Structure 1
Amino acid sequence: MAHPLSAPSNELKAHIASTYNAIAPQYNAWTASHHDFRLNYLNRLLPHLPSSGARILELGAGAGDPGTALLASLPGAHIVANDISSAQLSLLRARLASEISAGKVETREGDMMNLALSDGALDAVVGLYSIIHLPREEQGELLRRIGKWVKGGGWFLVNFAGKEIEGAVKMGWLEEEQEGKESSNAMYWSSWSPAESKRLVQEAGFRIEVEEITAEEGPDVDFLWVLAQKVE
């Protein structure tokens, strides 16, 4: 197998999707330790949303825990839950079957760069631990699209890596090592510097209200959290 960093974007994302499909149970158990971070920032977003009928896009919804479940609990909300992993969305559909039946949640599987929404259709976009899976050259374009999808006065909650990462690959991520066996699973991350990530958010038409860097897995694994409002 060619090294993922040398692959075109569509092949790189195929690696990401197949890896998340393969490690969904391990990932969901591991990421439970990060739920407090997610909930902290989600709960800072909620007071800014309409009291009823909020329309929200969640990028990288995963299995729906805790983000989609919390957002879907809002009165009259409609959540578009996007993820590149069929396995994760299958878990989400099982977990939130009643919300899906009630029309509060719809799922869209695939590359977030292939999403198409109308201008001003959304009250908020949430992208946690997900946009960092895009090649850096695609991140600015996605942010520009988000700036069009979110209506004036709407909100954007996102996190990026807390340092610049041109492109990093981890083979066998979250898998148990097996002697003599090389994993074919590959995970990929990239990020601009925090200053550049913030500039791209602002360039997309948002005013940053919260910007914080947190160390979640030790001093070498930081995330930049941004909560921003679309300028009317």
Structure 2
Amino acid sequence: MRSQYRAATKYRSWIAGLNTRLGKGSRVLDLGCGSGVPVVRDLVAAGHRVAGVDISEVQIRRAQKLVPHADFIRADATSVDFPDGSFDAVVSLYALIHIPLEEQPPLLQKIAKWLRPGGWFLCSTGHDEWTGMDKNWLDSGVAMWWSHAEVPPVGRTA
């Protein structure tokens, strides 16, 4: 429970920062929304129109119950599509790192197209290059797969 509290606290400050950049009623996508809490819930509470996408049917059902004023789509983040310029912001926290590394650049290109001019992209990424499985993720007994690239040193572009 302590790790969930820390994550919710971290999310709160990140979403608050995003909210300072968005006008009321902005259209926001949460890619990898999980249960919709806290990200979608907090964005809806701030007055935004929010859509959430997650691959898990169970998480989408939970999100629909927990955040009834948002729209939710059960889909793979790499195959879902939206018209160009659909969103003022796209959020993807702790989701990209679970997508195979070779599928991330095409997804990032799609996200860039979904954003309106001047739109915002808030995401979390890995720090060190690693692909593998944590067989006991968060001491839950559940295996979790990861894939992320190394962050280039400051002053160097990839």
C-alpha deviation, 1:110, in angstroms: 2.1
Which of 70, 82, 103 is equivalent to 1:117? 82
Q: Counterparts of 1:46-195 in structure 2 under 5 Å?
A: 46-50=19-23, 52-75=24-47, 77-97=48-68, 99=69, 105-165=70-130, 167-174=131-138, 185-195=142-152
C-alpha deviation, 1:145, in angstroms: 0.6
C-alpha deviation, 1:144, in angstroms: 0.6
Q: Could you say if the C-alpha distance between residues 119 and 171 of structure 1 is closer, same or farther in structure 2, counting changes exceeding 3 Å?
A: same
C-alpha deviation, 1:138, in angstroms: 0.7
TM-score scaled by length of structure 1: 0.62
CA distance in 1, matches of 2:151, 2:119: 22
The answer as to 2:16 corresponding to 1:43 is yes
Q: Which amino acid aligns with 1:58?
A: D
Percent identical pairs in the alignment equals: 30
CA distance in 2, matches of 1:199, 1:116: 28
TM-score scaled by length of structure 2: 0.89
CA distance in 2, matches of 1:112, 1:96: 20
CA distance in 1, matches of 2:115, 2:80: 14
Q: Structure 1: which 5+ residue stretches go unaligned?
A: 1-27, 100-104, 178-184, 201-232
Cα deviation per residue 1:13-47 (whole Å; 9 max; x = unaligned)?
xxxxxxxxxxxxxxx87433311111111111111
C-alpha deviation, 1:172, in angstroms: 4.0
CA distance in 2, matches of 1:148, 1:154: 10
Q: Which amino acid aligns with 1:47?
A: T
Q: Bigger radius of gyration, 1 or 2?
A: 1
C-alpha deviation, 1:193, in angstroms: 1.1
Q: Counterparts of 1:178-217 in structure 2 under 5 Å?
A: 185-195=142-152
Aligned-residue Cα RMSD (Å) equals 2.2
Q: Which amino acid aligns with 1:116?
A: D
More deviation in 31-40 or 52-61? 31-40
Higher helix share: 1
CA distance in 1, matches of 2:145, 2:157: 23
Q: Could you say if the C-alpha distance between residues 191 and 199 of structure 1 is closer, same or farther in structure 2, counting changes exceeding 3 Å?
A: farther
Aligned residue-pair number: 156
CA distance in 2, matches of 1:71, 1:171: 33
CA distance in 2, matches of 1:116, 1:173: 30
